[in-house]
Amino acid sequence: MEKAQGFQKLLEKFPPLEEGFATQLEARCDFTLLDKHAALTHHSAKGGRIYFLIQGSLIRNIVTSKGRLKTVMFHTESFMDFFKDCGFGLAHAEIRSEIVANEKSVVLSVDFDFLNNYLKTDLKLLEFYNQKTEKTLNELDLLRNFQLGLTSKEYLCYLQSNYGFLFLRFPAQHIASFMGITNVWLSKLMSQASF
């Protein structure tokens, strides 16, 4: 896929844009082709860009205080496909994180301030952005609340029922990490669960 094709796919996700802005956006977009396991962002990356996953899938990891990688989110073309990599938390404490390709992937990115400034002048795009952000926050809340409120087996059943595509596209070790359990425990739960 080339940048022009990727940008066309991005435009299909947006509401209609003014032609002048679409041209500016395309000129400012970085186009990234990632091979499997390649890093889109990595440890200590400062935020400032918004990413649009056009094709493929990505895994977001953080580095724990013990130096281990923990999977905290998955991204596909239709799930969490717009995201910002925040390298710093609210207290400006460094967050060590990375986003890596789970498979060959195509990502477009643009400076967040550029997009944010335009949102102030285009109400349709602002409404789209707000809806997308609200949907993402609701999804994150549900995932976190069910993880905290259910047993591992119940949470596995919840994920399988509502996010079955994760099990088809992502390695079991990352799903186990996301759930906060070991690979062995996930394997045992999957053999017990009836989906």
Q: 33-67, pLDDT tens digit by residue?
A: 999 999 997 554 455 889 999 999 999 998 888 88
Looking at per-residue confidence, does 88 or 142 come out higher?
A: 142
Decide if pLDDT at 174 tops 60. yes
pLDDT for residue 42: 54
Contact 15, 124 (CB under 8 A): yes
Write down the domain spans for the chain: 3-121
Contact 33, 1 (CB under 8 A): yes
pLDDT for residue 72: 94
Decide if pLDDT at 144 tops 60. yes
CATH hierarchy code of domain 3-121:
2.60.120.10
Decide if pLDDT at 95 tops 70. no
Percent of the chain with pLDDT over 70: 90
pLDDT for residue 148: 93
- Rounded CA separation 164/180 (Å): 18
Q: What is the pTM of this model?
A: 0.88
Task: Please report, as a single letter, which amino acid is at residue 87.
Answer: G
Percent of the chain with pLDDT over 90: 70
Decide if pLDDT at 90 tops 50. no
pLDDT for residue 194: 60
2 Cβ neighbours under 8 A, 6+ residues apart: 31
Mean of pLDDT values over 8-33: 92
